[in-house]
Amino acid sequence: MRVYLTRRLPGESQRRLEQALSVDTWPEPVPPPREELLRGLAEADGMLCLLTDQVDALLLEMAPRLRVISVMAVGYNNVDVPAATRRGILVTHTPGVLTETTADLAFALILAISRRIVEGDRFTRSGNWQTWDPSLLLGRDVHGAVLGLAGFGRIAQAVARRARGFDMTILYHDTRRLPVEEVSLGTEFVSLPELLSRSDFVSLHVPLTPATRGMIGEAELALMRPDAFLINTARGEVVDEAALYRALASGRLAGAGLDVYAREPVDAAHPLLTLDNVVALPHVGSATRATRVRMADLAVDNLLAGLSGTRPPHPVNPEVLGG
């Protein structure tokens, strides 16, 4: 069996895969171009890809042997899952192992934007610091503030656990109510408009789907308080970036902590990056060594199980496995 990898894997997982199967790996640190993907998939039984690789219906048509697509990410919006399912191709992903790490980063963004950490770092290095100043870099308190979690899956719940340590009031909105988690985490279920209008911090934790694309637009941002902050560690396309820029630049919103963008890598000249009230990170929510190794291991487990015809740990479309 042959598998195609769109990037070299961290840790031991690359070797583990190479010992089990014939592996063709794109060697560059950037995503393979379309022609290379087509070449790699022409003969492949399995594929291990990243969120940067667009796997669409046309590509799948050109991959006649493909049986498993293992995505090394929890989000799999880069794969046309319905098209894969129609062709009987199993899609898998890597939830769970990155939950706590991504929640850490969401909380880091909450602290960074409200306490002006990045601005403060730039100022300290600038040589302009003259004295202890009662009004220097005044921020907003995180402790005791209201946190609104849009989406209440694993990562949002892990953010809620952290927020409890900061005595925050925690609101959540999801497509379904989760009574057990709601009570155990001391949270309150509210509608999205109520969440937006009551929160000091709105943190996004929804997958990118047709329903969530552009979910935070002009109207939703207008519901947020002018002293509130938006945190996005989910997917960039969930937010209308032009509307977000207008809200931040005009002072209708206090700030944003962003790890994800509609288009990645984000252009260095992007209007959002011109604003001091934005903390911008390069999609590093899961970026700790330990977590990336766990993600790669799980992606390999998924791929090997799928190719051997056994149920993988995390199938996205288990219906292709049949009875």
Residues that bind ligand DGY (CB under 6 A): 51, 73-75, 98, 285-286
Q: What is the Cα 281 distance to its own chain's centre?
A: 12
Residues 6+ apart with CB under 8 A from 309: none
Count the Cβ atoms, other than its own, within 10 Å of residue 113. Answer: 26
Pair 226, 252: CB distance under 8 Å: yes
* Min separation Cβ 211 and ligand DGY, Å: 17
Least distance CB 91 / ligand DGY (angstroms): 14
280, two tokens: 């911008």
Catalytic residue among 93, 116, 283, 314: 283
Minimum CB distance to ligand DGY, residue 281 (Å)? 11
Q: Which of 235, 292, 294, 314 is catalytic?
A: 235
CB closer to ligand DGY, 66 vs 73: 73
The three-state DSSP-derived secondary structure of 141-202 is: CCCCCEEEEECCCHHHHHHHHHHHHCCCEEEEECCCCCHHHHHHCCEEECCHHHHHHHCCEE
What are the start-end ranges of the E strands in 65-158?
68-71, 90-92, 146-150
Q: Which is nearer to ligand DGY, 30 or 269 (CB)?
A: 30
Q: Which is nearer to ligand DGY, 228 or 315 (CB)?
A: 315
C-beta closer to ligand DGY: residue 14 or 233: 233
Contact 4, 32 (CB under 8 A): no
Is 173 among the catalytic positions?
A: no
Annotation marks residue 218 as catalytic: no
- Smaller CB separation from ligand DGY, 90 or 298: 298
Which CB sits closer to ligand DGY, 76 or 201?
Answer: 76
235 catalytic residue (yes or no): yes
Amino acid at residue number 141: D
Q: How far is the CB of 289 from ligand DGY (least distance, A)?
A: 13
Residue 61 beta carbon to ligand DGY: minimum distance, rounded to whole angstroms: 26
In DSSP terms, which residues pair with 1 in a beta bridge?
none
Distances (CA, A) of 174 to 151, 189, 207, 212: 5, 8, 11, 11
Please state the closest distance from residue 73 (CB atom) to ligand DGY, in A.
Answer: 3
Sign of CA dihedral 102, 279, 149, 318: negative
- The whole-angstrom separation of Cα 312 and Cα 303 is 7
**Active site members:** 235, 264, 283
